[in-house]
Structure 1
Amino acid sequence: MFVRTRALSEALVAPLSDADTTVQSMADASPAKWHLAHTTWFFETFILRDHVPGYTLHDARFPFLFNSYYEAEGARHARHRRGMITRPSLDEVLAYRAAVTAAVLDAFDTLPPAIVDLIELGCNHEQQHQELLVTDILHVFSENPCEPAIWTPARKQPVEMPPAINWMPGAAEVCEIGHEGAGFAFDCEGPRHATLLSPHAVADRTVTNGEWAAFIADGGYRDARHWLSDGWAWVKADGVEAPLYWAQGEEGWTRFGLDGRRAIDPAAPVTHVSFYEADAYASWAGARLPTEAEWECAAATHDPASGNQMDDAGPVEPRPSTGGPAFFGDVWEWTGSAYRPYPGFRAAEGAVGEYNGKFMSGQFILRGGSCATPRGHVRASYRNFFYPHQRWQFTGVRLAKDL
């Protein structure tokens, strides 16, 4: 897993120039070069420095440059200024990666099981950054007036519009959610606990581009009735009229993706929408967003490795549904649940305890993974989280309703 994960990160940047990997297009995003270095710093710091006797840092400057938010690790470069790190170069960062990867592999057989578990955490951490790397470079390229493509557009096969949403009833019952038992999970996914569900139904698929275009045409972005107060203020302040990367031309709506600008696919899942937009659409549709408990209980019997997820460094794009309920891949699905600790949650000791717990404020839960999530990374209990205005990730919408 370690070797495969490290190789995928490097394959993702192979089509990029040094300049492509250095630019930071907004404060929420990080340069691709920084992602490569930060994930390497994680292994160097928490595995090699802390648990391999005699290890010497590859470069004493790097901890300051590539620490993200770990207060226990001391001072660090400001997040919004990561694009100022023009040096070290991409080649130097790749050399740093190669050295740390080799050192971890050399030490692997001497490490106790608890530290091998920490390597597994590091691999899952790097997989998260692989998705961020993809979405961050998409945002970088969207800011370039040339709108370059990183991958050659795939040939489009005609796909029929999916049938109308089929509502899957959920019983009023006590349901257990959260991770327990064998297999990796982040600390915020547990403890497993009981939660009470009211009678409800969950849609068997996510909302499509075509359905979202109907919301726009019906004045969805101009009607305050559908919006939360904070969401309406955000729409007005930022002049939001459509999902991120959409533009309207003479022939209709287009979207910018990693394969350049193309006409929207009406049958594909809508993506790059904020929690505010997701909530407004649900209101317009006479529905609501599912709670994370409703989502997890509905998804528990589905295969987390199924669906359109990232298998290699090839094209990344949400694809039309091919039939049957799908809960994993394509787009992260906003829920109506705030990111808060489960009953009995305790953060781990030490710096790694800063990984999730301290962010449990002001954010909302997303479930299911996306087309940019490495396959094998998600599970039914997986909790992703973003602020309600953020939409540069592959975020989409599944509806729910009360019964």
Structure 2
Amino acid sequence: MPPTRDPISTYQTIRQQSLALTVRLSAEDCCVQSMPDASPSKWHLGHTTWFFETFVLESREPDFKPFHPAFRVLFNSYYNAVGDKHPRPRRGLLTRPGLDEVLAYRADVDRRICQQLTTSPDDPALLALIELGQHHEQQHQELLLTDIKHLLSCNPLFPAYANAMPSTETTPALTWLDFPGGLSEIGHVGNRFCYDNELPRHCVYLEPYQLASRLISNGEYAEFITAGGYADPEYWLAEGWDWRIAEQREHPLYWHRHGNGWLEFTLTGLNPLVAAQPVVHVSLYEADAYARWAGARLPSEAEWENAAAQMQADPLAGHFANSQAFHPRPARPDAMAQLFGDAWEWTQSSYSAYPGFAIAPGAIGEYNGKFMINQYVLRGGSCATPLGHIRASYRNFFPAASCWQFSGIRLAR
């Protein structure tokens, strides 16, 4: 999120961006839930509003009254300290409130938040909570896109969410960049916003290593499939092999066999697979198996962040959701391409606390810390991430089986 001197304008812009993502959707699209891990678009719009109402307005308005008392439960995601929650797998059954009422809820809370910012424009506690809420909203903007993609993929008509954009058909040869290792500092530095899981900044020791110059392409991943990679347990973690068998997985999530080739479902519909584009929607299991087959491995998150620092990579230079392409592009001939944007990059690092990390008190402390188990870190952002939301220290995290996000592969060795 770019810096600004006008907090009201920033707030309104980010909130409007969420609404803009739903303009292409019908009311029916906004209500349906395609799997327990996903949420309806209408719920995302309601939950991000609930965040501001619950954590800002409730404590600051002298005569606070909720827009609707039931929304405290309906749109609570996982904040146990706030109270009861509607079961996540049943969010798609919420035909009421209707989309119009959810939009009215947003308008009401937006008006009241702007009143707070007008009355207390220099209140640091207020500004900090609203900034957290804005970054939270941007996370849900990406989730809204990936959730609607999964929903549309379940439709045999394979409907398009957006118009296709031209894409190059070539990608530069993969090369290896050397990093000397040694002591390196990772974690957020500076006075700009970060999440608590990016702190504290600390030293790590790295052995010398290499990182691939770009993400693995569809064409390279197809070679893994052709070579029998999905049929050979030699390349798979035991848990990954069991997942592959249980899911009957033989290719990435949105690939479809078509004669001797492949089609790929994207947010622009079902299209011929572009070999030069990065492979996406792979699980950690698939990413790790490919790396083993290729004679390499996945990087650690410390290696990734150290490389970003050494290359002086600019997070604003990547390919993000503002392009409106909503799909990764082939790599440019840069020394280190696609480090930010295009696809989240799986790392081999378990999502855990940095040395000295402490969970903040209260419900806000539930944002990150309680999820530090049974998940892996991804770095770099994707083509569905809002521009300005990502930084080198940003730690995304998902379970190893997750593949509905724009998750890709960068090799290390």
TM score, norm. by length of structure 2 = 0.95
Aligned position for 2:289: 280
Give the 3-state SS of the residue equivalent to 1:185 in structure 2: coil
| 1:134 paired residue number | 145
Q: Does the aligned pair in 1 maintain the 2:167–2:330 contact within 8 Å?
A: no
Would you say the 8 A contact 2:341–2:380 is kept in 1? yes
Match of 1:317 in 2: 327
Question: What are the equivalent positions in structure 2 for 1:357-396 lying under 5 Å apart?
Answer: 357-396=369-408
Match status 1:21 vs 2:33: no
Aligned twin of 1:348: 360
2:346 paired residue number = 334
Q: 1:123 aligns with which of 117, 124, 134?
A: 134
Residue 73 of structure 2 is aligned to residue 64 of structure 1: yes
Letter in 1 for 2:85: R
Task: Report the 3-state secondary structure (helix = DSSP H, G, I; strand = E; otherwise coil) of the residue aligned with 1:261.
Answer: strand
Uncovered stretches (5+) of structure 1, i.e. residues with no partner: none
Q: 1:31 offset after TM fit, Å?
A: 0.4
Q: Quick check: 1:79 aligned with 2:88? A: yes
SS at match of 1:80: helix
Measure, in 2, the Cα distance between the counterparts of 1:102 and 1:251.
56
Distance 1:161 1:36, change over 3 A: same
Give the C-alpha shift of residue 286 in structure 1.
Answer: 0.2
Q: Please, which of 64, 68, 71 is the counterpart of residue 55 of structure 1?
A: 64
The alignment status of 1:161 with 2:161, answered yes or no, reads no
Counterpart-to-counterpart distance in 1, 2:170 and 2:260: 20
Cα RMSD over matched residues?
Answer: 1.0
Deviation at 1:349, TM superposition (A): 1.3
Amino acid at match of 1:385: F
CA distance in 2, matches of 1:135, 1:366: 16
- CA shift, 1:145, in A, is 1.1
Matched, 1:236 2:245: yes
Which residue matches 1:308?
A: 319
Number of equivalent positions:
398
Segments of 5+ residues of structure 2 without an aligned counterpart are 1-9
Kindly indicate whether residue 56 of structure 2 is the aligned counterpart of residue 44 of structure 1: no
For 1:102, the aligned partner's letter is: R
Deviations 1:110-146 (A, max 9, x none): 3321121110000000000000000000000001111
Aligned-residue offset at 1:172: 2.6
Q: C-alpha deviations, 1:143-195, integer Å up to 9, x for none?
A: 111111111222x34432321x2111111300000013210000000100000
User: 2: CA distance between counterparts of 1:149 and 1:56?
Assistant: 40
Supply the distance in 2 between the matched residues of 1:149 and 1:172 (Cα, whole angstroms): 45
- SS at the partner of 2:144? helix
Following TM superposition, by how much is the alpha carbon of 1:251 offset from its aligned partner in structure 2, in angstroms?
5.0
Aligned letter for 1:37? G
Mapped to 2, the partners of 1:172 and 1:186 lie a distance apart of 26
